Chains A and B, each alone.
Chain A
């Protein structure tokens, strides 16, 4: 079953990859040959079909893994993040069926793809459930919450497209800079995934020692643990490592390792971004802007809002109401201000603020699109940041 699940999982991954390529080629093709619009729609149409294929196979991957483990596989970071990618793609498939905005796929497909790839950075084995998770509420609560987050992610994509359509990137403005930065952030996530998976595929390991014992690094240790000897761990490309150590005031034992990962991500993202930028010879946001030229901005604004309007109640139900009922069953209190549930509340309040801002005149359009884009960061923090940065009752999800 696990093997079958892995095969489905791989198929889904490559479907999303193929869909991304189809969409992007379809769109850039349209730009190059404006008269060949039919060919372009041919590409995007197939992109859509392939995404559907991906969603179906990922559904099968989840189902088979669920049969193997005996529960819906949403109990650790790998399972949860890949489930999120699944709900994003699913939400896109449904929303696109109603709104027919193929270009949306060119944004959603890469986002889902990168999240899915990011998921596979985490350990992939299926572990049996600890007592706190042995409840049917696990299935109900987590899947509904993830569905809400998936739909809200569509609002991010549409908001981003809106900003690209309405901003004149030739003039330097704050929006233009932020857009370019947003594109850069996407490549940051991508570089993180590529370096992690790359070194893992190569089987890289290095032991680093310091004040607080020994830690096994999976990336070359540019940053060591506090108290360790510089250059004493290993060599990489002739460089004696670590180059420097984590400062002593950082208490966590793995502070050095985390800093190291961050440093690697920054370096590799700058390389990747620099390379692409050198090829494009203009800001990447301008390149992407070419894809969306001519789209109806108002429709995108409406789409972004609709995604929140649909996703917000689902999120409320899954991430708050079901969570509270389960907490009452398992922990004896419907609310205990544990970091994960508090951040679910923060995310919810964020989108509440979004909805109320929209009630005010003049807040449709640009401002609200920015809020939708930033909302993605909030969700990302809720899903990843809380587990990696803040630990609490939910910290079992770390493994």
Chain B
């Protein structure tokens, strides 16, 4: 609303953001930026904690370049957030700049318009030999079609759908609400997200939210007819606070648990199974007979096991064993993905302890390398595996705000596109009834409606005048 006297900086900025051209430019820039952000996966979506190597290794030089110039975090980058902020500013300003004058002008619109003006309406017709009763009849017909009709002497204004005229403004408001809802994450305590990995029976504290989650069992099921296709995975989860059980639920992918505004989701699981318990048959290679069985809990193995007359003492335990020509034997993690145990076996017929490896996942080659002719063979009779479950914890107090915004946007869209602001003016002058009509959208619909109003009155219906051809520079 620059009244032209003085252009202050404020006015300049205001006019800048009120311009549709600028608004569309911002929208296009956000679209282009978003598209660029999909070229390679963003850092939060890569299966590696080391992005500085991942992009180079997986996508080569281009990928590395993408990462180095910051596009691997497009949606958290300052320029992207700045664009969204500019959009918000533009939305606020354009709504005030246009909405307020529109509201005022519609509120104060005169009933009577000049006949010359009516004649230039895109929809216009007239009836000769008309009188006051004709005008009244027109008013009645329009009322039946739910027009609000106002009369002033020989002039008439019928209007419907004035509020839908503000559909775009309602919609823009909704967008502002959404943006506010998203940025509410910046308020301390409003947003928390984390991914926790739990073994069976394990309990972990969730960040600073003050509660713990326990995995009481994880189940993984495949389809019968398609053995590689996962049908279902679920965690029996329990929430504890101050040592007390507060909530429990069998979590499924589309079925989560809410506790104190935090949602706990079954997000994923570690596809690599871990060893839980194994029952092992100790076989004497000299006699090919079984000496007996023993059972190992891989999470908590005992120092020694007694089998028949023999004692197996654990000399070394590598839960996730790796054998490297340079680094030797070491464990990759503390989780029993690939256990390797070195036993010292003593017994009545053994003068000195027989040292030997047990590695259930080792191939024949590794066995050979570790070598020697073992006195015993250890065969797994029974083994229980388990998967680590991946739970996502998300607390986002802004979500209801975002949803409210979405609702407003949808309402605005319905107003905008499925309703129209229609106005009909009529004026009786010198025995001629001039009728002009206007709508903000759907001229064909308006033409049809006017036809249904005018034909019963014996007035020739209106046909749309051509718009002037777009001016080509």
CB pair A333–B253 under 8 Å, yes or no, is: no
Q: List 30 A-B contacts (CB under 8 A).
A: A127-B226, A127-B229, A128-B229, A131-B230, A132-B254, A134-B252, A299-B444, A312-B417, A316-B409, A316-B413, A330-B253, A332-B193, A332-B265, A332-B392, A332-B393, A332-B394, A333-B193, A337-B42, A342-B38, A346-B34, A349-B27, A349-B28, A349-B31, A349-B34, A356-B27, A362-B470, A364-B470, A390-B39, A392-B45, A393-B45
CB proximity to A under 8 Å, residues B1-41: 20-21, 23-24, 27-28, 30-31, 34-35, 37-39, 41
Interface residues of B in 382-399 (CB under 8 A from A): 392-394, 396, 399
Q: Tell me whether A309 and B470 are in contact (CB under 8 A).
A: no
- A321: contacting residue among B28, B61, B231, B410, CB under 8 A: B410
Q: Is A352 an interface residue (CB 8 A)?
A: yes
Residues of B within 8 A of A (CB): 20-21, 23-24, 27-28, 30-31, 34-35, 37-39, 41-42, 44-45, 58-61, 74-75, 182, 193, 223, 225-226, 229-233, 252-254, 256, 263, 265, 267, 392-394, 396, 399, 402-403, 406, 409-410, 413-414, 416-418, 441-444, 466-467, 469-471
Partner of B265 from the list A135, A331, A336, A359 (CB cut-off 8 Å) is A331
In the bound complex, CA of A321 to CA of B413 (Å):
12
Residues of chain A within 8 A of B226, CB atoms compared: 127-128
Contact string against B for A residues 313-326, beta-carbon threshold 8 Å, 1 for contact and 0 otherwise: 10011001100110
Looking across the interface, which residue of chain A has its beta carbon closest to that of B193?
A333
State whether the Cβ of A366 lies closer than 8 Å to any Cβ in chain B.
Answer: yes
Given A313-B418, A321-B406, A362-B471, do A333 and B27 touch, yes or no (CB 8 Å)? no
Chain B residues positioned under 8 Å from A336 (CB to CB): 44-45
A: residues with CB less than 8 A from B are 99, 127-128, 130-132, 134-135, 137, 249, 251, 298-299, 302, 306, 309-310, 312-313, 316-317, 320-321, 324-325, 328-339, 342-343, 345-346, 349-350, 352-353, 356-357, 359-366, 386, 390, 392-393
Please indicate the chain A residues that have their CB under 8 angstroms from the CB of B265 in the complex.
Answer: 330-332
Q: Lowest 5 A-B CB distances belong to which pairs?
A: A349-B31, A332-B265, A131-B253, A313-B413, A135-B254
| B75 touching A337, Cβ below 8 Å | yes
Task: Report how far A358 CA is from B299 CA in the complex, Å.
Answer: 67
A131-B31 contact given A331-B265, A342-B38, CB 8 Å threshold? no
Quote the shortest CB–CB distance from A68 to chain B (angstroms).
13
Task: Select from chain A the residue with minimum beta-carbon distance to B448.
Answer: A98
Q: Contact between A334 and B399 (Cβ–Cβ < 8 Å)?
A: yes
CA A310 to CA B470, docked complex, whole Å: 24
B399: chain A residues at CB < 8 Å are 328, 334
B24 engages A353 (CB within 8 Å): yes
Kindly list chain B residues whose C-beta atoms are within 8 Å of the C-beta of A249. 60-61
Q: Do A331 and B267 touch across chains, with their CB atoms under 8 A apart?
A: yes
In angstroms, how far is the closest chain B Cβ from the Cβ of A364? 6
A51 to B392, CA, bound (A): 48
Of A357, A366, A392, which contacts B470 at CB under 8 A? Answer: A366
With A321-B406, A324-B406 in contact, do A339 and B413 touch (Cβ < 8 Å)? Answer: no
A132→B252 CA distance, assembly (Å) = 9
Note all chain A residues with C-beta closer than 8 A to B469: 365
Chain A min CB distance to B48 (Å)? 15
Q: Which residue of A lies closest to B45 (CB)?
A: A392
> With A328-B399, A390-B39 known to touch, is A310 a contact of B417 (CB < 8 Å)?
yes
Q: Provide the bound-state CA to CA distance between A302 and B466, in Å.
A: 12
B223 and A128 within 8 A (CB): yes
Q: List B contacts of A346 (CB < 8 A).
A: 31, 34-35
Expressed in whole angstroms, the Cα–Cα distance for A99 and B447 within the complex equals 13
Q: List residues of chain B with CB within 8 A of the CB of A134.
A: 232, 252-254
In this complex, the member of A127, A325, A349, A392 whose beta carbon has the largest number of chain B beta carbons within 10 angstroms is A349
Residues B253 and A132 in contact, CB atoms below 8 Å apart: yes
Bound complex: CA A350 to CA B31 (Å):
7
Q: Which residue of B lies closest to A347 (CB)?
A: B31
